[in-house]
């Protein structure tokens, strides 16, 4: 390293999929002199040390944050309100508090009021994840080529925003700044609703008679399998997302329900033109996504042959 690390002491609160991936990325890119974590159980503290993710692991949040110049909350968002009173007294002026949660208005509501003067809050949301959980599931490349959305309120210290921006950029992400409420609305449709629907459809299948259920698993490659991957994401994290982005999620569910009822009616009454028109419109959205380089288009057959197994990191659990 020819440069000083971006942070002297990073305290990761929570060392699951995202926390442990960040620990690995911080190390790989030399972004922190010391990395410590706080985690609920002695066992995961030991795992974090054994995997070499952190220099020190604590089972209480206060000592972990003592002397940190960056505290990164990587626990389910519902824990923020309880955790913040324990860590706030340990923070020195100039310290940055950030997070990786999927809901952002809540951070402004639950965390901001409890922080001492001179501590900078820069809420963040890396749009990255897999359906796997725990410190073993993380990997340093998780954030490469992905978006990270930051939602600082107006008046936030610009140097603090810049440092968090540099952190995520060094981890390979593109950074976007957004209003917290706008973030929650956009994510309600791009992420929260798809996850809710995936959980629902897989739940519907679980309740089918046993003979059908076995075949649902057997023939899952016909569309259902994709949903099971999304519906295998961390239950506690997603419970928290839905409860804490309730209004935006419920509005999207309401819109979806209306649209589904219209489709249902078109099927019942044999309105083929209506179905075909909708299915043609949705195809165009896929093209826009491919043009925006957020998905892969068709490849010439010679390059592809049979699909090789790759880590399925692209869409679950974020």
Residues 57-86 that bind a second copy (CB under 8 A): 78
Q: Which DSSP string corresponds to 82-125? A: HHHHHHGGGPPTT-EEEE--S--HHHHHHTGGGSPTTPEEE-EE
CB of 268 to a second copy, least distance (A): 6
**192-211 residues near a second copy, rule: CB under 8 A:** 192-208
The CA distance from 238 to 202, in Å, is 15
**4-33 residues near a second copy, rule: CB under 8 A:** none
Q: Is the Cβ of residue 28 or residue 166 nearer to a second copy in the bound state? A: 28
Q: Are the C-beta atoms of 141 and 27 separated by less than 8 Å?
A: no
**218-247 residues near a second copy, rule: CB under 8 A:** 218-233, 235-236, 238-240, 242-243, 246
Q: Is 33 helix (H, G, I), strand (E, B) or coil?
A: strand
Q: Are strands 70-73 and 96-99 parallel, antiparallel or unpaired?
A: parallel
**φ, ψ of residue 34 in degrees (nearest 5):** -130, 140
Site for a second copy (CB under 8 A): which residue of 10, 139, 162, 181? 139
CB of 92 to a second copy, least distance (A): 35
Those residues with Cβ within 8 angstroms of residue 196's Cβ, 6 or more apart along the chain or in another chain = 242, 249, 253
**145-174 residues near a second copy, rule: CB under 8 A:** 145-147, 149
Q: Is 37 helix (H, G, I), strand (E, B) or coil?
A: strand
CB of 28 to a second copy, least distance (A): 12
Question: CA geometry: angle at 212 spanning 206 and 218, to 5°?
Answer: 90
Burial of 139 (0-12, 13-18, 19+ CB in 10 A): middle
CB of 207 to a second copy, least distance (A): 7
Q: Is the Cβ of residue 117 or residue 268 nearer to a second copy in the bound state? A: 268
- Any contact of residue 109 with a second copy (CB under 8 A)? no
- Any contact of residue 263 with a second copy (CB under 8 A)? yes
Q: Are the C-beta atoms of 223 and 252 separated by less than 8 Å?
A: no
DSSP E strands: which ranges in the chain? 7-13, 32-38, 56-58, 70-73, 96-99, 120-122, 124-126, 147-150, 174-177
Site for a second copy (CB under 8 A): which residue of 81, 153, 177, 275? 275
Q: Are the C-beta atoms of 151 and 179 separated by less than 8 Å?
A: yes
- Any contact of residue 257 with a second copy (CB under 8 A)? yes
CB of 69 to a second copy, least distance (A): 28
- Any contact of residue 314 with a second copy (CB under 8 A)? yes
Q: Which stretch binds a second copy (CB under 8 A): 42-50, 87-95, 110-118, 123-131?
A: 123-131
The CA distance from 314 to 289, in Å, is 14
CB of 66 to a second copy, least distance (A): 31
Q: Is the Cβ of residue 92 or residue 254 nearer to a second copy in the bound state? A: 254
Q: Is the Cβ of residue 95 or residue 142 nearer to a second copy in the bound state? A: 142
- Any contact of residue 217 with a second copy (CB under 8 A)? yes
- Any contact of residue 41 with a second copy (CB under 8 A)? no
Q: Is the Cβ of residue 167 or residue 249 nearer to a second copy in the bound state? A: 249
């Amino acid at each position: 390293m020819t440069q000083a690390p971006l942070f002297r002491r990073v305290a990761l609160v929570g060392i699951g999929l995202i926390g442990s991936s960040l620990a690995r990325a911080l190390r790989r890119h030399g972004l922190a002199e010391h990395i410590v974590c706080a985690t609920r159980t002695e066992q995961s503290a030991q795992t974090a040390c054994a995997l070499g993710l952190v220099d020190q692991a604590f089972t209480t949040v206060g000592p972990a944050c003592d002397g940190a110049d960056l505290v990164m909350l990587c626990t389910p968002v519902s824990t923020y309100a309880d955790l913040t009173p324990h860590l706030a007294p340990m923070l020195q002026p100039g310290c940055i508090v950030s997070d990786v949660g999927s809901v952002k208005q809540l951070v402004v509501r639950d965390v901001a009021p409890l922080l001492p003067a001179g501590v900078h809050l820069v809420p963040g949301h890396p749009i990255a994840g897999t359906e796997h959980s725990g410190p073993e599931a993380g990997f340093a490349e998780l954030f490469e080529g992905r978006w990270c959305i930051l939602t600082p309120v107006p008046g936030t210290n610009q140097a603090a925003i810049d440092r968090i921006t540099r952190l995520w950029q060094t981890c390979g992400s593109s950074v976007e700044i957004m209003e917290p409420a706008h973030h929650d609305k956009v994510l309600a449709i791009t992420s929260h609703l798809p996850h809710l629907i995936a959980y629902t459809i897989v739940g519907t299948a679980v309740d089918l008679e046993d003979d059908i259920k076995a075949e649902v698993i057997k023939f899952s490659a016909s569309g259902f399998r994709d949903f099971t991957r999304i519906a295998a994401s961390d239950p506690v994290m997603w419970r928290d997302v839905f409860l804490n982005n309730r209004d935006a999620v419920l509005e999207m569910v309401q819109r979806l329900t209306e649209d589904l009822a219209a489709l249902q009616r078109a099927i019942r009454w044999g309105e083929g033109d209506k179905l075909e028109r909708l299915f043609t419109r949705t195809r165009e959205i896929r093209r826009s996504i491919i043009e925006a380089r957020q998905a892969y288009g068709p490849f010439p057959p010679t390059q592809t042959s049979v699909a090789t197994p790759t880590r399925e990191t692209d869409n679950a659990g974020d």
